[in-house]
Each structure stands twice: as structure tokens, then as C-alpha cells.
Structure 1
Amino acid sequence: MARPQEFNTAEALYKAMGVFWSKGYEGTSLADLLEATGLSKSSLYATFGDKRDLFLAAFDCYRAERTRELHLVLDNGKARKSIETFFRKIIEDARATTFSHGCMSTNQAVELAPHDPDVRRRVETDFQVIEDAFARTIQRGQAEGSIRSPVSPRKLARLLVVAFPGFQVMVRAGANAARLDDALATLLSNLDLPSK
């Protein structure tokens, strides 16, 4: 008879996600994962497979959580304000100690995506999900009048997606608040009618 599992799989996965998120894939050792999860080597391998399998499961956990948060922010209230809130949240989260390691998808776009097709597909999917969410929000904003730009929602969404990792990188690089506020105001001005 098999021994019953004595740990919470979801909790262990969440803890592993935190390690991969803060240290990256290459920077995370097996010892880091065992310490964070509190699992033995045999339990870790039996439950999640090897380090790469665990990383992909943890990355997928992160991605699902972030997608829920994305929709929570963008699907509520006036569209233009929702988009501004989304970017202000990125800036605040990047400044917070807990989130100082940035967006895991952006990090992996640089670390593993260039040479790992499985990670590349996930990163591409993540940016497409963000683009689609922005496009829907912009379309809603144009219909309700909070976004007055006549530019197509898809084109505006692509601009916002390009800005998304840029803000995270600038915050992590220590850009001051005035510079970020100015950049955000300029970015959001693309949602208004062009000045004559």
C-alpha cells in the first residue's frame, strides 16, 4: 500500500514558483527548491518530475494567477481608467519588495525563451493574452467614450504591450517617479483624440 502524501502539492508548487521567480531558472538550485518547499528530493521528483518539469508547472501557475489579475483590473470600470490602473499597478508592484523581481514572463522572455521552445510558446501566449485583453478594453472604451482615439483597438493594444515590459525594466533599473509618470502620461495620450 502506497504511503499517503503528507504535503500540499499546490502550496509546494507556489513556493517553488517564488524561488524560480526571484532567482530565475538557471540561478535556482535543487537545494533552493528543497529548502523552499520543505520536500525531500524523492518527494519533489515523485510529485513534479525534474527541475525543468517543476519550473514549467510553477511558471504555468504564475501565468494563470497573473491572467486572473489582468482581467480583474481591465474588465472593471471605465476602460481608460482601467488601463491606467493596470500600468500604475505594474509600477507599484515593481517597486514593492515582494515583487522586486519583476514579471516572470518578461524575465523568461530574456532568460529561457531565446533557446527553449516550450518557454517561448508560453511567453508568446502571455503577451498575446495581454494584447487581446487590451484590445477588448480599448474597444469597450471607444464604445463608452472614455477612449477617444480613432486608431484601431488592436494597434493601440500592441503599443501598450510593448510598453508593459519597458515600465517594469525601468522601475527595476531605478527610474524616478517623475520620469515614469511622464512616460505613462505620454503613453496614455495615445488613447485620446489627436491634437490639432
Structure 2
Amino acid sequence: MSKSENTKQFIVEKTAFVFNIKGYAGTSMNDIMNVTGLSKGCIYGNFANKDEIALAAFDYNHNKVNEHMKRRISATDYSIERLLVYPNTYRNYFRYSYLQAGCPILNTSTEADDTHPRLKERAVKALDFWKASIENQIKRGIVRKEIKDDTDPAEIAVVMISMIEGAFMHAKVTNRTKELKIAMEFLEKLIIGLKA
């Protein structure tokens, strides 16, 4: 990587957590300068505006979650265990630094739904990707005769995502994990119930 690419990557990595905690509107240029230790000129020498940094930070946060899930899912071959990675991860979100500030999709969706069309578009793509990933795991399980053949992949994917995001939001707002754990235990039962 060139020096410019390294600097851009540094800015994104340092600001990703701040954007996930404070959101786009709540993150100021002073926050960006403080967390990176760089001048405004240096930052604007690498990014045209705060929008570009926010979009790159969202992509970075989303990719961190994606890579974690991909590694954990790939570590097992059995379809039910692959689906169980989701409740197991989100039940223990506090173990993962990139989830401690909240789910980047949920945080971005909540803030950007009416105020920032480009961030909203990124969140929509991330949700669509997540839904398709779960659907593909279910379809794979049906083909392998590990999941009941009358299972509707889209239906299960929507329910899983909704339960995870709703329970995650509940935990972040209340600063309690009790309800999150209840929801993830219920989701586990739902997934185990798909077994062929």
C-alpha cells in the first residue's frame, strides 16, 4: 500500500468505532482529529468530506462483523451449527470489540433512515447481504438433508435478523443482557427445530 492508502486506512480504522458509537451526526471533525491525531488538512487531504469517512467507516465495521461470522461459520460443516453461530455470537457481543458499540447495521439504520441516503443505502445492502447469507445456509442445509425441506429460507432469515437486531437494540438501550440472552435462547430453539 502507498503512504496515502495507509493514511486513509488508518483514518478509517481509528474513526470506525467513533462513528458506530456517536453516529454520523454526532461525530464531529474534532472527534476525527482527536482519535486519529491528524490535522484537518491531513484528513481532508485523504477524504473529500465527512460523508466519505462515514461511508468507509461503515464498510469497515460491517466487514469486521462479516469476517468474524464467516470464520465461525466456515469452522463447521453442519448446517444447524452454522446457523447457531448467529445467536452464539450476538449473545456474547461484549466479547467482540467491534460489536460493543452496537451492531453497525442497526446503528446506521436507526440514524440514517431519513437523514443520510448514502448511509441508508449501505445499510440496506448490508441487510440484504446478511439475509441472503442466512438463506443460502438454509438452502444448503435443505439440499444436504440437514434441514427440513419445507423450511422457507426467506422467512427464517427475516425472523432471525429481526430477533437479533431487536434483542441487540434492547440490550444496548437498557444496558442489560438478560433479555438478549432470552431472545438468543429462543432463536436457538427455533434453529434446532429446523433439523431434518
Partner of 2:30: 31
Shift of 1:18: 1.7
Task: Structure 2: give runs of 5+ residues left out of the alignment.
Answer: none
Spell out, residue by residue over 1:133-181, the C-alpha distance to the aligned partner (whole angstroms, 9 max, x if none). Answer: 101111222333443362211221111121121121122223444x444
Greater CA drift, 184-193 or 133-142? 184-193
Return the alpha-carbon distance in structure 2 between the equivalents of residues 99 and 64 of structure 1: 12
Partner of 1:142: 142
In structure 2, what residue type is equivalent to 1:116?
Answer: H
Question: Per the alignment, in what secondary structure is the counterpart of residue 183 of structure 1?
Answer: helix
Question: Per the alignment, in what secondary structure is the counterpart of residue 147 of structure 1?
Answer: coil
Partner of 1:69: 68
Contact in 2 for aligned 1:13/1:58 (Cα 8 Å): yes
Task: Structure 1: give runs of 5+ residues left out of the alignment.
Answer: none
Shift of 1:17: 1.0
Q: How does 1:7-46 map to 2 (within 5 A)?
A: 8-46=7-45
Distance 1:145 1:174, change over 3 A: farther
Shift of 1:94: 4.1
Residues 1:88 and 2:88 aligned together:
yes
Shift of 1:128: 0.6
Query: How many equivalent pairs are there?
Result: 190
Partner of 2:79: 79
Q: How does 1:97-136 map to 2 (within 5 A)?
A: 99-136=99-136
Partner of 1:161: 161
Distance 1:7 1:122, change over 3 A: closer
Return the alpha-carbon distance in structure 1 between the equivalents of residues 33 and 39 of structure 2: 6
Identity rate of aligned residues, in percent? Answer: 22
Spell out, residue by residue over 1:102-142, the C-alpha distance to the aligned partner (whole angstroms, 9 max, x if none). Answer: 01221011111222221111111111111011011112223
Shift of 1:41: 0.8
Return the alpha-carbon distance in structure 1 between the equivalents of residues 84 and 187 of structure 2: 10
Contact in 2 for aligned 1:74/1:137 (Cα 8 Å): no
In structure 1, what residue type is equivalent to 2:175?
Answer: G
Partner of 2:151: 151
Larger Rg belongs to:
1
CA RMSD of aligned residues (A): 2.6
Question: Per the alignment, in what secondary structure is the counterpart of residue 114 of structure 1?
Answer: coil
Shift of 1:8: 3.1
Contact in 2 for aligned 1:73/1:86 (Cα 8 Å): no
In structure 2, what residue type is equivalent to 1:126?
Answer: A
Shift of 1:44: 0.4
Distance 1:7 1:180, change over 3 A: closer
Return the alpha-carbon distance in structure 1 between the equivalents of residues 5 and 72 of structure 2: 37
Distance 1:50 1:137, change over 3 A: same
Return the alpha-carbon distance in structure 1 between the equivalents of residues 154 and 36 of structure 2: 41
Give me the TM-score of the superposition, normalised by structure 1.
Answer: 0.83
Partner of 2:175: 174
Contact in 1 for aligned 2:65/2:98 (Cα 8 Å): no
Contact in 2 for aligned 1:91/1:167 (Cα 8 Å): no
